Chains A and B, each alone.
Chain A
Amino acid sequence: MANIDVSTYFFTAAVPVCNEGVVEHRSLTGAKGVIKSSPIHIVREILETLPTALQSHATEEIGLNSPFSRNLRTHFTRFVILDQPNFNGRDHSNALVNAVMKVDLLAAQPVDQITCPYIFWTIDFDLPDPAGAGEPRRYFEELWGQMEPELRSIFQYCYGFDQVKDAASFATYILRCQIETTMPFHDYWYIPPKLSQISIPGLALIPGIGALMLLGSLIAGFLRWTGWRWAADFVGWSGWTWAPWAGLGVLILGLIIDYYWVMAKGRKPYPASPGADLRNVLKALYLQQVFTRFATAQQRRDRTKWGAEFRTFLTATRPGDLDGPTQSPGVIRSQPGDAA
């Protein structure tokens, strides 16, 4: 299943927005009065005013963190509004063919349209179980518990959203809008990944046998045709008229088996790089920063105290404990106080 790769679920959904008519609302940005606008207009305004992660100086000043930072499995998420498919102009055609076929180039070609705008939603989240048991339902139920108000405001104008009552119905709703993710993006391995190998001799075995039978029969046939019948008889090929057909059959069968074998291997999720889930990443980011500060501080200390200081450092930062002091999600740096 292409949705799962590197112990991560790559979720894609297109949620249709009922854009009929007008909704009245107050501006989210402070303008007085009631704004009458289309539902998709408000969806855009909600998305535009949804806090992003505190990952720049400007957002750090605002101080409002992304609601997705409440979830310790979410790596990355993005909302996009799809209004209409982009129109790329007429289909290209050959001028000579047009002339011969008498194509009327002034006749307009049909243009694709979608009947309503869609909220396109992509998310990468960690899988506690690499096989993805119970996912992505479990993730969405978790998310509903952590950011229900925000999810409601984003999806309030979507077709059928009024049926969403709780976490389970939200998960059901979003799963109905899911599209298979066929091209996930993930981080690099910093060591060579342990990939499930495919055996080249294994691949070659069955088609190879078929090819050899076919080749042998062809050689025998050629020898007989050139009058060297004795040579063919000498190696025992004289009566094997079924051999070329059997060879061809085995060759084709072997290629088919190889094809499905390669495809089955290809469908296997790429293994996750060690420590790539969000909690490990946050811990690593935290350790990297506190260790830098620790190392800077030790420069000014007496070498003899370094050992004791490091033991204190390890006790305080608990490198193996993902629950322990760590970087908060959705921020760009750990604060010095976090080290304690």
Chain B
Amino acid sequence: MTNATNTPSSATLLDLADIQGGILRTYGDGFPKGRNFYLTVRDARKGRAFVEALLPKITTAARWKDPKRDEPLLRTRNPRVKDIVRAQGEPDYPGRVQLMKPKVTLNIGFTFTGLLALGVPTRTLRGMPDDFIDGMEARAALLGDDPFLDKRDAVWRNSKGDRRVHILLTLYAQQNPDGTACPELKAETDAIVALCKKSRGGVVLLDGVGPDNAQWQDLSAVMRQDGENWWPTNKEHFGLSDGFGDPVFSGQFSGEAEQVRVAGGGKLVYDPKKKTYKWEPLATGEFLLGYPDEAQEIPGAAMPIAFSRNGAFMAYRKLHEAVGTFNRYIDEQAGRYARMFHVPKAEAVETIKAKMVGRWEDGVPLTIAPTYADWQRFRADLDKARAEKNKARLAEIALKFTNFTYASDPAGSKCPVTSHLRRANPRDGLGPTFTADGLSGDGSAIINRRRILRRGLPYGQYDANAPTDDGDHGIIFMAICTNLFRQFEFVQQQWMQYGLDFNAGSDTCPVIGNHPKADEPKMVIPVDPEVGKLPFICDRVPQLVEPRGGDYFFLPSMTALRMIGMGIIDPT
């Protein structure tokens, strides 16, 4: 349906207080501590009462005021695009501010069996997509999880019968200066435990998390010590910076914030008048049910529409990181690289890591700084801008972290085509054709339908002086989208666990892909053909990341949560 004048309508209007908070915003460094709970429902009526009781605690996407929002851009960490907006005094998110930033956020998701256990009508349930109904374990072969099924935490291994995971509660908390979680996290934990107890067996908190069979999954950002104070970083346990370039969709940010963030975060759209490509926000329907998506269709959702609208699906994964193996492997490959290319070992270590990921360890994209020398220049430029407190320059630099395309690098000599970054979001890089000026917008239409919102935090710690693979440390990865099959599963299966789209045969992602020895896993670091040097092949890549459990969840709107709690879903 189009409007009468066929002119573009204004930006998408979202009912922020109806949407769960974790969908629109990354809780990010404001909430560096977290705790996840897995629950099973054994009595539908008590389960509904549990959901009702939780309703007042759920964090929505409504805008809040952060009393501690400090001067951005001049901080020690790399400037981020959102800092530009903040520096200009513009709001990040749309809507009126009435709430204060909470100390702890709480969001809730349900597996398909969870919705069934809570008495959601059959007619609603049958409208759910197959992938969600199956759940993550049934899709293991597709996701590449099958070799690791036995290594999952007990809570996921035993997730069947009366121990089936039905409800996921995700809590994110602010931290104390000493790097511990704020006391409200414990208070909320106690409240959840008490609610389960009150249900008298109706809702049971499942244990079996991690090696010690804990009752919940603790999360924490990787910390950096500064005297007495501990600051959260955006690193994961391999020491690589994460969390750049999340998709930007219509309605997610305020108009001003959207204009800045959309560069590199949205989709590339060809403007026939100006004969160039420009960035525009992705369609809301790629990330929220009930809105038109990139194909100008409403994504398939369960009825009634009020049950699905403003909700989303989420793939939740616990990904273990083999830190010891990673360090040893990089070290070994770097020795060879240093000899081959006559560079210092430290440079080789950084280069190989960057080529695997697509960004240098501090997040600077290879596309912007392809060589070690470029990277050092970039950093020097950044340090200079910081020292001069040159906000305009810092803003310019912040944009470079996300605003880039791959058209000028079809062979991947700057950023390897098979690096993690380029696999996850090939931007303009998969087009069948390139225009005279090197752009390839054709690829964008495919990629626009494969975007996911990435959320999550690292979990566990390891001894930085003696990194090992043992122990419980890694990342809780959450991918939010409206179609798990088309978006999350496609990226995981076709782009991460397979390399044909990148002309890399069966080479999987060097970081999170499966690397069975029999496949002789490798990663090619291409060089510019004109340089006349040989490419470097990282051979026998070991298994670096292993899934340790997870499932598919539906993240309902507040309206749908109320319907579930009250048991009044009318699908007719």
Are the C-beta atoms of B55 and A110 separated by less than 8 Å? no
Say which residue of A21, A27, A83 sits within 8 Å of B55 (CB atoms): A27
Is B309 an interface position by the 8 A CB rule?
A: yes
A34 and B7 contact, CB distance less than 8 A: no
- Identify the closest chain A residue to B568 (Cβ): A48
Q: Is B16 an interface position by the 8 A CB rule?
A: yes
A108 interface neighbour in B1, B56, B270, B283, Cβ under 8 Å? B283
Name the residue on A nearest B563 (C-beta).
Answer: A48
Nearest Cβ on chain B to A107's Cβ, whole angstroms: 8
| Contacting pair B309 A87 (CB below 8 A) | no
Q: Are B2 and A91 in contact (CB under 8 A)?
A: yes
- Name B566's contact: one of A36, A41, A48, A110 (CB within 8 Å): A48
List residues of chain B with CB within 8 A of the CB of A19: 15
* A41→B53 contact, CB < 8 A: no
Contact B99 A106 (CB under 8 A): no
Please count how many residues in chain A sit with their CB below 8 Å of the partner chain's CB atoms: 42
Q: Is the CB of B18 within 8 A of A40?
A: yes
Say yes or no: B558 contacts A41, CB within 8 Å: yes
Q: A21-B95, A22-B62, A36-B60 are in contact. Are A112 and B52 (CB under 8 A)?
A: no
Given the interface pairs A20-B95, A21-B17, the reply to whether A109 lies near B2 with Cβ below 8 Å is yes
Q: Does A113 contact B13, Cβ atoms closer than 8 Å?
A: yes
Please name all residues of chain B whose beta carbon is closer than 8 Å to the beta carbon of A35 when the two chains form the complex: 55-56
Across the interface, do A37 and B8 meet the contact criterion of CB distance under 8 Å? Answer: no
> How far, in Å, is B250 (CB) from chain A's closest CB?
10
In A2-50, the 8 Å CB interface with B consists of: 19-22, 27, 29-38, 40-41, 44-45, 48
Count, chain B residues at interface, CB 8 A: 46
CA distance A48 to B558 in the complex (A): 14
The reply to whether the CB of A88 lies closer than 8 angstroms to some CB of chain B is: yes
Known contacts A21-B98, A48-B568, A110-B8; is-contact A31 B297 (Cβ 8 Å) = no
Instruction: List residues of A (85-128) whose CB comes within 8 Å of B's CBs.
Output: 85-91, 104, 106-113, 115-117
Asked if A90 and B3 sit within 8 Å, CB to CB, the answer is no
Contacts of B15 in A (CB 8 A): 19, 38, 40-41, 83, 117
Within the complex, the shortest CB–CB distance from B127 to chain A, in Å, comes to: 16
Q: Which residues of A contact B53 (CB under 8 A)?
A: 31-33
Is B445 positioned at the interface, with any CB of A under 8 Å from its CB?
A: yes
Most buried by A among B95, B290, B566: B566
B3 touching A110, Cβ below 8 Å: yes
Report Cα–Cα, A81/B562, bound state, in Å.
Answer: 16
Contacting pair B56 A33 (CB below 8 A):
yes
By a CB distance below 8 angstroms, the chain A residues around B3 are 110, 112
Which B residues, 2 to 57, have Cβ-Cβ distances below 8 Å to chain A?
A: 2-3, 6-10, 12-13, 15-18, 52-53, 55-57
Q: Residues on B close to A: CB < 8 A?
A: 1-3, 6-10, 12-13, 15-18, 52-53, 55-57, 60, 62, 95-96, 98-99, 269-270, 272, 283, 290-292, 294, 296-298, 305-306, 309, 445, 558-559, 562, 565-566, 568
Q: Given the complex, which residues of A lie within 8 Å of B8, measured CB to CB?
A: 110
> Are A33 and B57 touching (Cβ within 8 A)?
yes
A31 near B99: Cβ-Cβ < 8 Å = no
Cross-interface CB contact of A44 among B56, B98, B562, cutoff 8 Å? B562
Min CB–CB distance B563 → chain A (angstroms): 8
Contact A38 B9 (CB under 8 A): no
Q: How far is the CA of A52 from the CA of B27 in the complex (A)?
A: 42
User: Are A111 and B562 in contact, with the CB atoms below 8 A?
Assistant: no
Central interface residue in B13, B16, B270, B290, by most chain A CB within 10 Å: B13
Minimal beta-carbon separation of A113 from chain B (angstroms): 5
A41 touches B9 (CB 8 A): no
A27-B56 contact given A44-B559, A112-B1, CB 8 Å threshold = yes
Q: Which residues of A contact B290 (CB under 8 A)?
A: 84
A–B Cβ pairs within 8 angstroms, 29 of them:
A20-B95, A21-B95, A22-B17, A22-B60, A27-B55, A27-B56, A33-B56, A37-B17, A38-B62, A38-B558, A41-B15, A45-B562, A48-B566, A83-B15, A83-B309, A84-B290, A87-B291, A88-B1, A89-B296, A90-B296, A91-B2, A108-B294, A108-B296, A110-B3, A110-B6, A111-B1, A111-B292, A112-B2, A115-B13
**In the complex, chain A residues whose CB is within 8 Å of the CB of B568:** 48
CA distance A104 to B445 in the complex (A): 12
A108 / chain B contacts, CB cutoff of 8 Å = 283, 294, 296
Contacts of B562 in A (CB 8 A): 29, 41, 44-45, 48
Across-interface contacts of A116 in B (CB, < 8 A): 13
Given A37-B60, A112-B9, 6 new contacts (CB under 8 A) = A44-B562, A48-B566, A88-B1, A104-B272, A106-B445, A117-B15
Closest to B310 in A: A83
Whether A20 contacts B96 in the complex (CB less than 8 A), given A30-B52, A89-B297, comes out as yes
Check if B292 sits within 8 Å of A87, measured CB to CB: yes
CA distance A32 to B50 in the complex (A): 11
Smallest Cβ-Cβ distance to A19: which chain B residue: B15
Which residues of chain B come closer than 8 Å to A36, judged between CB atoms?
Answer: 17, 56, 60, 62, 99
Bound CA–CA A37/B99 (angstroms) = 11
Q: Whole-angstrom distance between the alpha carbons of A110 and B296 in the complex?
A: 9
Q: Tell me whether A31 and B298 are in contact (CB under 8 A).
A: no
Given contacts A19-B15, A21-B17, A29-B566, contact A34 B56 (CB under 8 A): yes
In angstroms, how far is the closest chain B Cβ from the Cβ of A21? Answer: 4
CA distance A119 to B272 in the complex (A): 41
B10 touches A113 (CB 8 A): yes
Which residues on A sit within 8 Å (CB–CB) of B283?
108
In the assembled complex, the Cα of A109 lies from the Cα of B295 at a distance in Å of 10
**Neighbouring B residues of A86 by C-beta, 8 Å:** 1, 298, 305
Residues of A within 8 A of B269 (CB): 107
* CB pair A38 B56 closer than 8 Å: no
Indicate which residue in A21, A30, A89, A112 contacts B96 across the interface (CB closer than 8 Å): A21
Q: Which residues of B contact A117 (CB under 8 A)?
A: 15
- Are B99 and A22 in touch, CB under 8 angstroms? yes
- Given A31-B565, A41-B559, A44-B559 in contact, is the A87-B18 Cβ separation under 8 Å? no
Complex Cα distance, B1 from A90, in Å, reads 6
**Cβ contact within 8 Å between A31 and B52:** yes
Q: Residues of A contacting B96 with CB < 8 Å?
A: 20-22
B309 contact set on A, CB distance < 8 A: 83
Q: How far, in whole Å, are A110 and B250 apart by their CA atoms in the complex? A: 13
Closest to A115 in B: B13
Name the residue on B nearest A81 (C-beta): B306
Q: Out of B10, B18, B291, B294, which one reaches A41, CB within 8 Å?
A: B18
Chain B residues near A81 (CB-CB < 8 A): 306
CB distance from B161 to the nearest CB of A (A): 29
Q: Which residues of A contact B296 (CB under 8 A)?
A: 87, 89-90, 108-109, 111
Instruction: Report the bound CA distance from A128 to B294 in whole Å.
Output: 54
Cα-based distance from A87 to B292 in the complex (angstroms):
7
- Chain B contacts for A27, CB-based, 8 A: 52, 55-56
Taking CB atoms, residues of chain A closer than 8 Å to B559 are: 41, 44
Q: Which residues does chain A contribute within 8 Å of B305, judged by CB atoms?
A: 86
> Do A38 and B52 touch (CB < 8 A)?
no
Contact status of A110 and B7, CB under 8 A, knowing A31-B53, A33-B56, A37-B558: yes
A117 vs B306: C-alpha distance when bound (angstroms): 13
The 10 closest A-B pairs by CB, nearest first: A33-B56, A38-B17, A21-B96, A31-B52, A90-B296, A35-B56, A22-B62, A22-B17, A87-B292, A109-B2
B-side contacts of A34, CB under 8 Å: 56
